[in-house]
Amino acid sequence: MSFYHLEGLISAPFTPMDSKGGLNLSIIPAYYKFLKANEVTGAFICGSTGEGVSLTLTEKKQVAEAWAACTNHDKDFRVMMFLGGTCIADCIDLAQHAREIGLYAVSFTGPFYFKPANAKVLAECCKAVADSVPDMPFYYYHIPVLSGVNVAMIDLLNAVDEMIPNFAGIKYTHEDFMDFQSCMTFRDGRYDMLWGRDENMLSALALGTKGSVGSTFNYAAPLYYSLIEAFNNNNLTLAAELQQKSIDMIRLLGKYGGISVGKAYMKVAGLDCGEFRLPVKNMSASQFEAFKADVAGLDFDKFRSIEAELTL
């Protein structure tokens, strides 16, 4: 089975929340238009950025249905559903639901409480889920910093090859470039390797990646498209400067508390997605004012994502 290799910037959207911490699904059509206006080519929903591990099974289905309702008419915008990884039965349920509502693909990470002992066991976990939706592209989500599943992905590809017909590729959110390159060249580039570290995109471009999935593409897609253009034009000095701008932007996440700061960036960019649920800490009102001053110091308005036109 052969699947399309995704290209361009694929956003990892935030799950919009209301003032009480409930889902704010009404904002998702505007969110989709916002991403389209910035040439984003798809969405990886309910992942780390989307707080998938903090959502109930019912809520995940509601989020998926909201994205499907506004994107299923758009053949140039592919939505991938992150299923989770702890409970295989729930992942199968979510995968079949994603298929029923017409999403493009599903993704799964290694079980992170009872962890798989090796690549063979991880491949068996992937197969259990992938086999439930045999006509959908299935991606593994490699993020060992959060999952603690430190299996080399080249070992996983060797284990799943010919074993899972709909295994399409890997969302690779790790810094092991040796492993990533080995995966890129495996079976003459058979599998779709999507880069997942925004702050290291330039290095991944040098290895040949064409598609990336990231949280900062939500609010700074123009910056990364400029970086890609500079790289493609062999203007490596400019490409490095733009990558450093990305790094400076991402450093503010660490300064103000981590992943929740992404929603603060979205608010500055013009789309209020609320706050993160516990146990993630959100910044205070005074911290937000200091954050906005730091963001202005980055000349954020020069490279931030633009708000969608109402006519889109």
What is the rounded distance in angstroms from the CA atom of residue 299 to the CA atom of residue 206? 27
CA dist 183 → 117, 153, 188 (Å): 21, 7, 10
Question: Can you read off the two tokens belonging to residue 263?
Answer: 């929603």
3-state class (DSSP) for residue 256: helix
Exposed/middle/buried for residue 286 (C-beta within 10 Å: 0-12, 13-18, 19+): exposed
Determine the Cα–Cα distance for residues 74 and 88; give it in Å rounded to an integer: 30
Helix (H) or strand (E) holding 192: strand 192-195
CA distance linking residue 260 with residue 86, whole number of Å: 23
Q: How many Å apart are CA 232 and CA 8, to the nearest integer?
A: 13
Helix (H, G, I), strand (E, B) or coil at 286: helix
Rounded CA gap, 30 and 272, in Å? Answer: 11
Residue of 31, 104, 141, 265 marked active site: 141
> How many helices and strands, by DSSP H and E, does the chain display?
12, 8
Asked if 141 is an active-site residue, the reply is yes
The Cα–Cα gap between 75 and 4 comes to: 12
Active site residue: 33, 171, 245, 263, which one? 171
Would residue 172 show up in a list of annotated catalytic residues for this protein? Answer: no
Burial status of residue 269 (CB atoms within 10 A of its CB: 0-12, 13-18, 19 or more): buried
Largest CA distance in the chain: 55
Residue 40 CA to its chain's centroid (Å): 12
**Residue whose structure tokens are 């491949």:** 123
Report the C-alpha gap between 272 and 234 in whole angstroms: 37
Residues designated as active site: 141, 171
